Amino acid sequence: MINKDSNFNKPMKIKSTQDLGNFVREFREAQKMTQADIFGLANTGNRFIVELEGGKPTLQFNKVLNVLDALGLELVIQKKGSF
């Protein structure tokens, strides 16, 4: 599990699909979860997880949200420069 001092507890700017994919992979690995754990929880396939973590820019947004939810993450949108 992530400890309370982890960088994952701080807001992170995501500027590309590659940034999001890298974050999802690093977070999953920090949680000691496999890709199979995630696609089972998110009701998606392994290929989708591989593509998400690889930064594919044309993924189904709803499935991305499902994966984030399965990881215990949420998407927050705010005005630029707010943090």
pLDDT digits (tens, 9 = 90+) for 5-17: 467 888 888 999 9
Radius of gyration of the chain (CA): 13
Report yes or no on 4 lying in a domain: no
What average pLDDT does range 61-80 have in this prediction? 94
Token pair of 75 as six digits: 């998407």
Residues with Cβ within 8 Å of residue 38, at least 6 apart in sequence: 28, 49, 67, 70, 71
d(CA 73, CA 75): 7
Angle at which helix 61-70 crosses helix 35-42, to 10 degrees, equals 110
The total domain count for the chain is 1
| 52: in domain | yes
Domain assignment present for 23: yes
In a domain, 36, yes or no: yes
Sequence-ordered strand ranges (E) for 1-83: none
Residue 37 counted as domain residue: yes
Q: Provide the residue range defining the domain that includes 54.
A: 15-70
Does the residue 38 lie in any domain?
A: yes
pLDDT digits (tens, 9 = 90+) for 37-70: 998 899 999 999 999 999 999 999 999 999 999 9
